[in-house]
Amino acid sequence: MHALKVTGLHKTYRGGHVALRGIDLEVEEGDFFALLGSNGAGKSTAIGIVSSLVTKSGGRVLVFGHDLDREPEEVRRCIGLVPQEFNFNQWEPVEEIVINQAGYYGIPRREARARAERMLRQLELWDRRRTQARELSGGLKRRLMIARALVHEPRLLILDEPTAGVDIEIRRSMWAFLQELNRNGATIILTTHYLEEAESLCRNIAIINHGCIVERSRMSELLNRLHVETFVLNLAARLAAAPNLPGYEARLLDPVTLEVRVNRDQGLNRLFELLTEQDVEVVSLRNKQNRLEQIFIGMIDDAREGARAP
Amino acid sequence: MSRWRRYRIAFETLLIKEVLRFVRIWIQTVLPAAITTALYFIIFGTLIGGRIGEMDGYPYIDFIVPGLILMAVITNSYSNVVSSFFSAKYQRHVEELLISPVPNWVILAGYVGGGMARGVVVGVAVTLVSLLFTEVRVHSYMLTLVVFVLTSVLFALGGFINAVYANSFDDISIVPTFVLTPLTYLGGVFYSIDMLPTLWQNVSLANPVLYMINAFRFGILGVSDIDPRLAVLVILLFIAGLTAFALSLLSRGVGIKN
Ligand SMILES: Nc1ncnc2c1ncn2[C@@H]1O[C@H](COP(=O)(O)OP(=O)(O)O)[C@@H](O)[C@H]1O
Ligand SMILES: [Mg+2]
Which one, of A172, A190, A165, A235, lies nearest residue A46 by Cα?
Answer: A190
CA distance A151 to chain B (A): 12
CA A45 to ligand 1 centroid distance, Å: 6
Residue A59 beta carbon below 6 angstroms from any ligand 1 atom: no
**CA-based torsion, A87, A92, A94, A100: positive or negative:** negative
Looking at the domain assignment, is residue B134 inside a domain? Answer: yes
Report the pLDDT value the prediction gives residue B49, as an integer from 0 to 100: 82
B 88-117 near A (Cβ less than 8 A): 88, 91-93, 95-103
Report the pLDDT value the prediction gives residue A229, as an integer from 0 to 100: 81
A115 band by pLDDT with thresholds 50, 70 and 90: very high
User: Using CA atoms, how far apart are residues A272 and A280, in angstroms rounded to an integer?
Assistant: 9
Tally of domains within chain B: 1
For residue B105, list chain A residues with Cβ-Cβ distance below 8 A: none
Amino acid at B236: L
CB contact under 8 A, B258 and A106: no
Work out whether strand A228-235 and strand A249-254 pair parallel, antiparallel, or are unpaired: unpaired
pLDDT at A223 over 60: yes
Which ligand 1 atom sits closest to the C-alpha of A211? 14
Contact B239, B73 (CB under 8 A): no
Contact A76, A156 (CB under 8 A): no
User: Using CA atoms, how far apart are residues A276 and B171, in angstroms rounded to an integer?
Assistant: 78
Report the pLDDT value the prediction gives residue A63, as an integer from 0 to 100: 98
- Looking from the CA of A95 toward its CB, the CA atoms found within 13 Å total 14
Report the pLDDT value the prediction gives residue B148, as an integer from 0 to 100: 94
pTM: 0.89
CA distance A246 to chain B (A): 56
Report the pLDDT value the prediction gives residue B151, as an integer from 0 to 100: 95
Q: How far is CA A196 from the centre of its chain?
A: 10
Q: What angle do CA B196, B198, B199 make, to 5 degrees?
A: 100
Looking at the domain assignment, is residue B190 inside a domain? Answer: yes
pLDDT at B97 over 90: yes
Looking at the domain assignment, is residue B194 inside a domain? Answer: yes
Looking at the domain assignment, is residue B97 inside a domain? Answer: yes
Closest residue CA from atom 12 of ligand 1: A19
pLDDT at A13 over 90: yes
pLDDT at A180 over 80: yes
CA A304 to ligand 2 centroid distance, Å: 16
A134 band by pLDDT with thresholds 50, 70 and 90: very high
pLDDT at A291 over 70: no
Which of B1, B95, B99 is nearest residue A106 as measured by Cβ atoms?
Answer: B1
User: Using CA atoms, how far apart are residues A175 and A190, in angstroms rounded to an integer?
Assistant: 11
CA distance A63 to chain B (A): 14
Which of A14, A52, A88 is nearest residue B98 as measured by Cβ atoms?
Answer: A52
Contacts of A61 (CB under 8 A, 6+ apart): A4, A5, A6, A9, A49, A50, A67, A68, A69, A75
Contact B18, B114 (CB under 8 A): yes
More confidently predicted of B107 and A293: B107
Looking at the domain assignment, is residue B258 inside a domain? Answer: no
pLDDT at A298 over 80: no
Which ligand 1 atom sits closest to the C-alpha of A15? 4
What are the tens digits of pLDDT across the range B31-51? 999 999 889 888 887 888 888
How far CA B205 is from CA of B201, B213, B246, in Å, comes to 6, 12, 25
Exposure string (b/e) for B127-162, b if CB count within 10 Å is 16 or more? Answer: bebbeebbeeeeeeeebbebbbbbbbbbbbbbbbbb
User: Using CA atoms, how far apart are residues B191 and A310, in angstroms rounded to an integer?
Assistant: 60
User: Using CA atoms, how far apart are residues A103 and A117, in angstroms rounded to an integer?
Assistant: 14
For residue B6, list chain A residues with Cβ-Cβ distance below 8 A: 105-106
Window from A65-74, A150-159, A280-289 with minimum mean pLDDT: A280-289
Report the pLDDT value the prediction gives residue A28, as an integer from 0 to 100: 97
Rounded-to-10 torsion of CA B243, A91, B75, B90: -50
pLDDT at A258 over 90: yes
3-class secondary-structure state, position A133: helix
The predicted model gives A283-288 an average pLDDT of 87
Report the pLDDT value the prediction gives residue A310, as an integer from 0 to 100: 47
Report the pLDDT value the prediction gives residue A289, as an integer from 0 to 100: 67
CB contact under 8 A, A104 and B13: yes
Instruction: For chains A and B, count residue pairs whose Cβ atoms are closer than 8 Å.
Output: 79
Helices (H), A15-133: 43-50, 72-78, 94-104, 109-122
Residue A12 beta carbon below 6 angstroms from any ligand 1 atom: no
User: Using CA atoms, how far apart are residues A268 and A161, in angstroms rounded to an integer?
Assistant: 38
How far CA B17 is from CA of A309, B68, B185, in Å, comes to 36, 28, 32
Question: Any chain B CB within 8 A of the CB of A257?
Answer: no
What are the tens digits of pLDDT across the range B121-157? 999 999 999 999 888 788 999 999 999 999 999 999 9
What chain B residue is nearest to A17 in terms of C-alpha separation? Answer: B258
How does the average pLDDT of chain A come out, rounded?
Answer: 91
DSSP codes of every residue in A138-183:
HHHHHHHHHHHHHTT--SEEEEESTTTT--HHHHHHHHHHHHHHHH
Contact B183, B108 (CB under 8 A): no
pLDDT at A157 over 90: yes
User: Using CA atoms, how far apart are residues B128 and B122, in angstroms rounded to an integer?
Assistant: 10
Report the pLDDT value the prediction gives residue A105, as an integer from 0 to 100: 98
What are the tens digits of pLDDT across the range B60-77? 888 899 999 999 999 999
Looking at the domain assignment, is residue B221 inside a domain? Answer: yes
Looking at the domain assignment, is residue B9 inside a domain? Answer: yes
Domain housing B71: 3-252
Work out whether strand A257-263 and strand A249-254 pair parallel, antiparallel, or are unpaired: antiparallel
Residue A43 beta carbon below 6 angstroms from any ligand 1 atom: yes
User: Using CA atoms, how far apart are residues A240 and A278, in angstroms rounded to an integer?
Assistant: 13
Rounded-to-10 torsion of CA B1, B7, B8, B12: 120
CB contact under 8 A, B258 and A55: yes
Report the pLDDT value the prediction gives residue B135, as an integer from 0 to 100: 83
pLDDT at A60 over 90: yes
What are the tens digits of pLDDT across the range A89-105? 999 999 999 999 999 99
A308 band by pLDDT with thresholds 50, 70 and 90: low
Question: Any chain A CB within 8 A of the CB of B129?
Answer: no
The predicted model gives B194-198 an average pLDDT of 86
Rounded-to-10 torsion of CA A218, A219, A225, A228: -160
Report the pLDDT value the prediction gives residue A299, as an integer from 0 to 100: 65
Looking at the domain assignment, is residue B257 inside a domain? Answer: no
Report the pLDDT value the prediction gives residue A106, as an integer from 0 to 100: 97
**Structure ipTM:** 0.91
